[in-house]
Structure 1
Amino acid sequence: MAVTNAASVASMATTLNFFTCSLRAIQHIGVTVPDFDAATQFFKDGLGAKVAYDGLTKDDEPRQGAEVERQLGLPSGAAIHKQRFLVIGAGPG
């Protein structure tokens, strides 16, 4: 972010202060990755994540269809083949 004047600095400081003072937890974030195992290792090594559980494994049928697409805003024909839940830090509780 380029800071061009004092008003920009003040605005950015207010935004950062809001997030550092008001944000208490994030319940979950979904991330699509090209390499499931490499992504898991990245989050474990880089952020100290721990695997909580796998929501879908290679033995499960993919989650797909019109209702899944509608609920998750996925494009037509998309399918979820693997799903893993990680915990970073104490989590939201």
Structure 2
Amino acid sequence: MDHIGITIPDIEAATRFLVEAFDAEPIYDSVKRTDPTVEGSEPENILSLAHGTKITAVRMMKLRVGPGIELFEMKGPEQGQPVRPSDFGLQHFALYVDDIEAAIAQFEKAGGTMFSRPQPLMFPTEVGKGNFFCYGRMPWGTVVEFISLPSSMPYENDTSLRRWRPYV
């Protein structure tokens, strides 16, 4: 995966949060707030935006390990609330962490809210010593999962295929 795109209400606040919560770094701005807004039928058709939506800023962020995060600050007449994990569509993205407690502490200090504390993975195909996960919400509503998989998992006995891990 190259990157995920997230629509946020305030690009500077979202950037600060990602830097503080995940040690992310801004790479470049595709659209700066000082640039003319990107609007009209062309971006509406290309991106399937609601009529009248204005793209006011776009920034690509780099995580230490994993895909980038592209932030889109948009203003539009039909913006909805962020999805919950029970809604259709992309519901969360997961960040692999070595120290899940430290990652949660950094996330909460930056303004994120956890749904629960770390717990063993819930599916029998993924259990293993120290294999933990938990979910939280970023200040603008995007759901993130923290996951740590230091041990092999039972599914590995049945296939040569493996889940992605940052060190493999």
Cα distance between partner residues in 2 of 1:51 and 1:73: 26
| TM-score calculated relative to the size of structure 1 | 0.64
Residue of structure 1 aligned with 2:19, choices 20, 28, 44: 44
Cα distance between partner residues in 2 of 1:62 and 1:28: 23
Cα distance between partner residues in 2 of 1:58 and 1:85: 14
Q: Gaps spanning 5+ residues in structure 2: where?
A: 68-168
Cα distance between partner residues in 2 of 1:89 and 1:58: 26
RMSD (Å) for aligned C-alpha atoms = 1.4
**Alpha-carbon deviation of 1:90?**
3.9
Aligned residues: 67
Matched, 1:88 2:63: yes
Give the structure, 1 or 2, with the largest relative contact order (CA under 8 Å, sep 6 or more).
1
| TM-score calculated relative to the size of structure 2 | 0.37
**Amino acid of the residue matched to residue 17 of structure 2?**
F
What is the percent sequence identity of the aligned residues? 36
Q: What SS does the aligned partner of 1:30 have?
A: strand
Cα distance between partner residues in 2 of 1:28 and 1:80: 19
Q: Gaps spanning 5+ residues in structure 1: where?
A: 1-25
Cα distance between partner residues in 2 of 1:82 and 1:41: 15
Higher helix share: 1
Cα distance between partner residues in 2 of 1:58 and 1:42: 18
